[in-house]
Structures are given as C-alpha cells and as structure tokens.
Amino acid sequence: MRSTAMRTHMCGELDIASVGQTVSLCGWVARRREHGEHLAFIDIRDHSGIMQCVVDNDVDVRSEYVIRVTGVVRARPEGTINSSLTTGMVEIGDCIVEILNSAEPPPFPVDARADDVDESIRLKFRYLDIRRERMQKNLRVRAQINSAIRKEMETNGFVEVETPFLMPSTPEGAREFLVPSRKEPGSFFALPQSPQLWKQLLMVAGVDRYYQIARCLRDEDLRADRQYEFMQLDAEMSFVSQDDVLENIGRAVVAAAIAVTGEAPPEIERITWHDAMNRFGIDKPDLRFAMELIELTPLFAGTEFKAFAGASCIKGICVDAKIYPEAAAFGRNKLDGLTDRAKKIGAKGLVWMKIGADGAIDSPVAKFLSDDEKSALVAVMGATEGDLLLLVADEWDTTCEVLGQLRNDIGRPPVHQGPYKYVWVTEFPLFIGIDPVSGRPRPGHHPFCQPHPDDMSLFDTEPLKVRALAYDLVLNGWELGSGSIRIHEPEMQRRVFNQLGISDEEADKRFGFFLQPFKYGAPPHGGFAFGIDRLAAILAGEENIREVIAFPKTQSGSDPMTNAPTPVDPAHLAELGLRLLPPPASS
C-alpha cells in the first residue's frame, strides 16, 4: 500500500480482503458506463490496475479525466465478477468523485487497442502511450532488471562509478555524435560510444571492480534492436581470466532474468566463434531451433558437377518437412526467391533439392550428380521424404553467412518466444577483413582486445588468423553485448595500433591520455558490456527495443513528439564557430 495525502491505496491493490474499508483512489478515467437511470460505472486506472466505482449518473467525467474517488469497498454482486481483472471481485460504492483535472479526448484509445495505431502517432503522444498497461509493464521490467543487476554487482564487490559524457573521439567501430566546443572553435568532443577507455583507466587506478549502468550513443542506422541512445551494463575487473568475467556477468544476467520471470535460465552454453560460424553460419546463433549447417566438402571432393568442383567450402541445411511443412513445400517461385536472396547476401548461387520417396532427389542439378553422391548426400543430411535441402558452394565465410541467413529466414521464431537460450561466443578474430582504402586489417571488436597468446606467432605475418580473448553474449539470436580481456602492456597496444595503420605519433596524439597511464603499472584486466534495452525487450515479450524505452526515436532517427532533430539558430552556430554547407544537389 502506497498511501499519500490524496490516496489510501493504488487502484490495483484492492481485493476481497479489503471489503468494508473506506478508501481513496486517484487516477485516470479509463471508461464510463451508464447503468440504469440513476447509476453509472466508472473504471479508474493507475499503473497498478483498474477499479470499478459505482457513482451517481450525474457525475460528469470523461475518458482520461484525472479524478479522486472516495468510497467503501464491497463485493461485486453475483454474476458481475470480472475474472480478467485482479480487482474483479470487488468494487467501490457510496462514492464521492472529485475532478482533479479535465482532459481532451485522446488521439487514440489508452488501452490495448492502441497496439494497432500507427507507431508515429503513438510516439508523438508518447506520454499517453505510456499510460497503457503494456508500456507500464515494460518500463517496470526495465526497472526490475536494473535493480537486480545493481544488487548482484554490488554483492560481488563491484563499485559503481560514473564516467564522462564529453570525451575525445575514439575508434570504436561506429560513427560518433560530435559536440562542438565553444571555448575552442574547430575542436569537438565526442559523446561516448561506450565508457571503454575510462573503465580501463579505472583499473589502472586500482578500483579493481567497476560497473555502471551507462548511457551510450552511436550514430548508426536504427533497427529493431538498435537506437542512437542505449543503456548497457558496463563492467571491468582486474587480475582476472576470461572465465572470471563470464562467471560474474553471467550472474548478473541470471539475476535479471529471475527478477522478471521468476525462473533461472539454463546454464549458459559456450561456443567458439569458429564453431558458431561452422554450425549456424552466424556469430550470434539462435539455439532455439536446429537446422544446423552440414559440412559437405569432402562428399563432393571428386564431383564432376562444375558448380561444386573446386569449391573451397560446400555446406547445406535440411528444412525438415515435419517441422517446417510450408517452407519444405516451397514451389518454384519461392525457391527462385531463396536463390535471389542467397545472391544478394553474396553467394554465386543456391542449389535446392526436394527429397522424394526412397531418397529420390528432385532438383535441376540432380542429373549432374552421381548416384553415390546423391545417396551419400541424403544420408549425411539426415533427410527424409518431403524435406528440402539448400546447398551453397563458395568461400568458407560466404558459404557460412549465406546459409546462416537462410536458416534464420526459414526457421527462426520471434525473438521473445521461449525458451530463453543464452550462449557465450568466444575466441573472436582479432582482425576481420582488410580495409579497402588503407589496406590494413580492421579490428574485430575494438583495438583494445588482448590477442590470444597461442596465436602470437601469426601476429605479424598472418594477422587475420589471430584470435582475440574476446567474447559475446547472445540471447535468442540477439547479441546482448560483448567484452574481452584487454591489452594492459603499452608495447602490445602499440603493435595492435600499428597493424591498424595507426602510427606511434598518431597513437600518442589520439590516445596519449590513455597510453601514458599504462606506463605506471596497469594490471591485467577484462570486462564486458551488455545492452539492457535488448535484454528488457526479450524478457518483456517485445520484438523491438522501442517498446521498452520511454522516449525512443523512430526508425528514421526522428522524435515525433519534440520534432527533433531541429535546425539551430544561426547565432548559436556562429557562437560555436560553425557554418552549414548547402545541402547536396539531388541527383
């Protein structure tokens, strides 16, 4: 019970045990219904629930009026109990209604019907949208997660430290939001993509175990799991191994899950990045469904089928007709669509095969395969009548990526649909690919990851084969976050910078404030950060993180409620030493 000077109870707190009590409730009018000539029902709502009040018919209140109701709790008459409400066995009678504020008719129903309203309208009137039960629940799920995380981190000796919001520009793999300096025209701060540098400096400073529920900003295209602004659990530990970090972060994740669902998830599995790509074709694998990639390269080692002959990697997936009957029965148009999809991802083509009775193969390429190859393929794929096989022959990374995307397209359930399958993905590559402009390797995670000690002999000669002591946490195919054991030796950090094309002079200029402290005794350390928005969305049963953020941006990056981003007064720009270029000419 949360009483104040104006109310004795919340609307959703009253039940049959409250009968006979005189109570005062405050909230919004959810609904008004006339009952005969002299009486009316008013449903009063706050975030805790709804209570039915019986009032005189001349009480003039309308939807979303703010009211205070004082009356006596009584049991509802037989036949009028509403089992869909937690308060459905009682009502308030002998009511005195006080109008605290009137309201204009809302632009959409402030209830579940608003789910069908265009999202731009919901966001324009977000303060009304948040009044709804769904949004109230979602925001409280976030609060439960934050509270559970803080308790777990503090129990394990972590200290909460706030880090700066205005910082120098750093290469963390995403575009930054820049803030012009009025005091130093032409110079800029960057808003933090993460507190990465600061938390490592805190380890140099002897904090030992740091955490923060941190706001981070990245100027990236928005998606269902991405916003410009996002919240993450950010943590760092000294004198640790990778196992220490995974164990402590795992505890925080489990505590958050228990706080929301009441149940502990299964033990978090572990898989290396290479195995994840080999088996699932993606570095954020969804373990809720099978359809794993099957290695077929040895099977076709001597094939005369030109599309497979000489291919460095051949893999396939089996679409089980018993589990995915609609996909397994795709007609030619759908199969051509899958082929087009494979080509857009990067494959040269896609081979499909339908399995008939006795393992017979129906496919445009069947005539190019020997009987032994066809029978071996059916056996290796574990295919039975009605199944659909999809095969790709290409470079290893392309083959994995294409089949991984097709696997998700065909079989992946909605992200919030149970069960919850957490998995640690470890041993990511230190570098991924070569930058076409600089000709230098690109960092896999960020430039501060410790190379795997077993791969240091490859660092200078074959850097793309070097693994990092880096790891991601994945839930139901969404990457929750990532981390690594950090480089704590200045010379090793310079070697990584040099591989990226950052000279010692440039490193000193851009990161001198970061590298200099490492000369004074940096402990071995590692850390992790995971997205609270993403975790909250999945645990709240949502497909989009916008539904668990109070005031998000649309997919286009705008805010319909405030109309941001907006032009800035020219005088303000002049004060900052800025001048706008004319917009580019339309093509």
Instruction: Write down the pTM of the prediction.
Output: 0.92
CATH architecture of 289-412: 2-Layer Sandwich (3.30)
Place of tokens 């005088």: 571
Q: Provide the pLDDT for residue 171.
A: 58
Tokens representing 296 are: 């077929």
Distance CA 12, CA 434 (A): 59
Distance CA 534, CA 545 (A): 6
Please give the helix or strand (H or E) that residue 379 lies within, else none: helix 371-381
Place of tokens 């071995």: 524
Query: Which candidate, 247, 242, 159, 246, places its Cα nearest to that of 208?
Result: 159
- Domain 136-271+423-549 in CATH 3.30.930.10? The answer is yes
Q: Provide the pLDDT for residue 23.
A: 98
Distance CA 21, CA 29 (A): 22
Please say whether the beta carbons of 13 and 85 come within 8 A. no
Those residues with Cβ within 8 angstroms of residue 564's Cβ, 6 or more apart along the chain or in another chain:
558
Distance CA 57, CA 180 (A): 61
Q: What are phi and psi of 261, to 5 degrees?
A: -100, -20
Strands of the sheet containing 470-475, edge to edge, are: 159-160, 209-217, 229-238, 525-531, 478-485, 470-475, 422-426, 269-272
Q: Provide the pLDDT for residue 174.
A: 78
Q: Provide the pLDDT for residue 173.
A: 62
Specify which residues 130 forms β-bridges with: none
Which stretches in the chain have pLDDT values below 70? 1, 171-173, 586-587
CATH architecture of 16-101: Beta Barrel (2.40)
Distance CA 156, CA 167 (A): 29
Q: Provide the pLDDT for residue 587.
A: 52
Domain limits, the chain = 16-101, 136-271+423-549, 289-412
Place of tokens 């000369």: 519
